[in-house]
Amino acid sequence: MAYTPPGETRKKVYEFVRERILNGSPPTVREVQRAFGFRAVQSARQHLEALVAEGKLVKDSGKARSHRLPELGRVRSPRLIPMLGRVQAGELTTALQDPGDYLLVQKSPFDDRDLFALTVQGESMIRAGILPGDTVIVRRQPAARPGEIVVALVGEEATVKRYREEQGRVELHPENDAFEPIVPRADGEPFSILGKVIEVRRSFE
C-alpha cells in the first residue's frame, strides 16, 4: 500500500471505526485491514492501538469487536430505545418487548434507567411546545416532582401531562386552555405514572 502522510490514514481509520460503532457493529482488526487494503494485520492494529493511546477509542483487550467510543468527553454512548405509537394499558409491556421501531439516543452513562419513546397524540400540551406527532423520550420512573412533564396511564390510555400536586392531591395538567386537568383518584380510574418526559423531538422534512 502507498505511504500516506502521517496522521492521514489514522484519521480515516478513526472515522471508519466510529461509523461502524455508531452503526452497531464495531469492526474486527481484520475488517479494518480489509477496508483499507492493508496487506498486514499489524498495519490496522497499529492504527487502532494508537487511537486507543490517544484516547479517541477504548477497547477491551482480547475480545472480538470490542472497540468503543470513550464514554467521557464529547460523545455519550449511543443507545437504541424502543419506539411506541399510541399505547393502551394492557399492551404496554408487549409493545416494549416487540416494538416496531427504534430510536437512537445519547444516553447519560450515569443513568441506567429504562428509556422508551412514544408519539404524542392530542393537542393538550401545545403551550409547552409539545405538538401532535412529536416524539417524546420517556425515562421510566414510578413517581414525579411537581412541574415535571410525565407520561401517565389513566384508565386504558397513556397520556402526556404536567404533573402537579394541589392540596396533597395529584393532578395532571394539560398545557392548553381547551382541556381540563385530570384528577386521577377522583375519577376512580386506574392510574399510574409511567415515567418522566426527558426530551421532545419533532422532525419536519
Partner DNA sequence: TGACATAACAGACAAATGTCTGTTATTCTT
Partner DNA sequence: AAGAATAACAGACATTTGTCTGTTATGTCA
Which of residues 17, 29, 84, 105 is near a copy of itself by CB under 8 A?
105
Select which of 161, 192, 196, 203 is catalytic: 161
In angstroms, rounded to a whole number, what is the distance separating the alpha carbons of residues 107 and 28? 25
- CA of residue 11 relative to chain centroid, distance: 27
In angstroms, rounded to a whole number, what is the distance separating the alpha carbons of residues 178 and 121? 15
How many CB atoms sit inside 10 A of residue 193's CB?
19
Which of residues 23, 42, 88, 106 is near DNA by CB under 7 A?
42
Check residue 174 and report its DSSP letter.
-
| 12 vs 76 by CB, closer to DNA | 12
Could you give the C-alpha distances from 139 to 72, 86, 108, 111, 124, in angstroms and in order?
A: 21, 17, 11, 10, 20
Contact partner at residue 178 from DNA, a copy of itself, none, CB < 5 to 8 Å by partner kind: none
> Which positions from 173 to 202 touch a copy of itself by CB under 8 A, shown as an x/- string?
-----------------------xxxxxxx
Binding site for a copy of itself (CB under 8 A): 15, 18-19, 21-26, 28, 64-66, 68-69, 71-72, 74-75, 77-81, 97, 99-106, 126, 129-131, 134, 139, 148-149, 196-205
